Amino acid sequence: MTITARTPVAPGAAADELPEIQRSPLHAVRQFVRRQPLGTLGLLIVVVMFAAGAMAGWIAPYDPEANDFAAMMQAPSWEHLLGTDQLGRDIFSRLVFGARTALLVGFSSAVVGGVIGLVLGVTSAYFGGWFDLVFQRVLDVLMAFPLIILALAVVAVFGTGVVNVIIAITVPLVPRCGRVVRASALAVREVPYVDAARALGFSHARIVLRHMVPNVVAPFLILLSAFVGQAILAEASLSYLGLGVQEPVPAWGLMLQGGAEEYATTAPWIAVFPGLAIVLTVLGISLFGDALRDAIDPKLRDR
């Protein structure tokens, strides 16, 4: 495995690729769309979800928290596009406001958890020794620790609420990121290049940032996109167990809890639509993350 020179042309590579010239950003975008149709689809989905969340106040036909006992558990109709839930609340409105919560929780937890994990993982791989030892143990403990106890403790002590849910979800993400990043960084660390750089007097920070991090960026990004999705799913699981966001806040995970399961056979729309929303959003984020990673992977870029 080499880091430096690569042969400029390889069999199987895109033969029509021109040498890299700085083109307009528009061209880069068009290239992306052409090369990564799935990624574009994913991006579109994410953009739609973001827009829905941002403009929720305008596009939601009803107040997502307003009970309407005259209209409980109605099937989708012109009045209620996606039907109503067991308290008569419009599901479409709740879905749209729920996008806010989902994306907020998802991105916050993922970014915070991922960045902490990245920094710690790379540092640990680079320095090795005692630091790595202790760090590994802490990672092991946090990673194996069942989320439910953590979440319950956070909820019991700090109460429920979006911020506390984010805190609870961030914790298991850090070690998962740290571990994979560390594994990738370790593979790079052994290479003579790093030793040579040290011999030349480059600082730790410079070596780490300029040569180790770029090589772990690809798995890190794909992890990050996975994390956003996992955070949204973790929020759903916690809400299902009653430890996440609480009524009457509209949140997709919360909509899947309790009543949805009770009425799964008589009023399936209560459970189906929030679930689909989660699946779609996480799908979109993941597709886009994958495409992004394919596009900026340094190994590919060198061609």
The residue (of 100 and 176) whose beta carbon lies closer to another protein is 176
95 interacts with another protein by CB under 8 A? no
Structure tokens at 48: 């739609």
Q: Binding to another protein (CB under 8 A): which residues in 3-42?
A: 6-7, 10-11, 37-38
Minimum distance between the CB of residue 141 and another protein, rounded to whole angstroms?
Answer: 4
Minimum distance between the CB of residue 197 and another protein, rounded to whole angstroms?
Answer: 18
Cβ-proximal residues to 110 (8 Å cutoff; 6+ apart), any chain:
173, 224, 227, 228, 230, 231
| 170, 112 Cβ separation under 8 angstroms | yes
The residue (of 5 and 22) whose beta carbon lies closer to another protein is 5
160 interacts with another protein by CB under 8 A? yes
Residue closest to 42 by CA, chosen among 290, 286, 284:
284
- Find the helix packing angle between 37-54 and 269-296, rounded to 10°: 130
145 interacts with another protein by CB under 8 A? yes
268 interacts with another protein by CB under 8 A? yes
246 interacts with another protein by CB under 8 A? yes
Tell me which stretch binds another protein (CB under 8 A): 21-29, 74-82, 105-113, 284-292.
284-292
How far is C-alpha 149 from the geometric centre of its chain's CA atoms? 22
| 47, 133, 196, 296: which one binds another protein (CB under 8 A) | 133
| 179, 194, 220, 250: which one binds another protein (CB under 8 A) | 179
Amino acid, single-letter form, for residue 113? G
For another protein, how many residues bind (rule: CB under 8 A)?
89
Minimum distance between the CB of residue 168 and another protein, rounded to whole angstroms?
Answer: 11
Q: What are phi and psi of 6, to 5 degrees?
A: -125, 150
| 59, 140, 203, 296: which one binds another protein (CB under 8 A) | 140
| 85, 94 Cβ separation under 8 angstroms | yes
- CA of 84: how far to CAs of 18, 74, 271, in Å? 55, 5, 11
Separation CA 185–CA 220 (nearest Å): 11
The residue (of 37 and 55) whose beta carbon lies closer to another protein is 37
Minimum distance between the CB of residue 155 and another protein, rounded to whole angstroms?
Answer: 7
Structure tokens at 285: 């984020």
298 interacts with another protein by CB under 8 A? no
Q: Binding to another protein (CB under 8 A): which residues in 211-230?
A: 218-219, 222, 226, 229-230
247 interacts with another protein by CB under 8 A? yes
The residue (of 8 and 25) whose beta carbon lies closer to another protein is 8
Instruction: Report, in angstroms and rounded to the nearest whole number, the Rg of the chain calculated over CA atoms.
Output: 23
Q: What DSSP element (H or E) covers 187?
A: helix 162-189
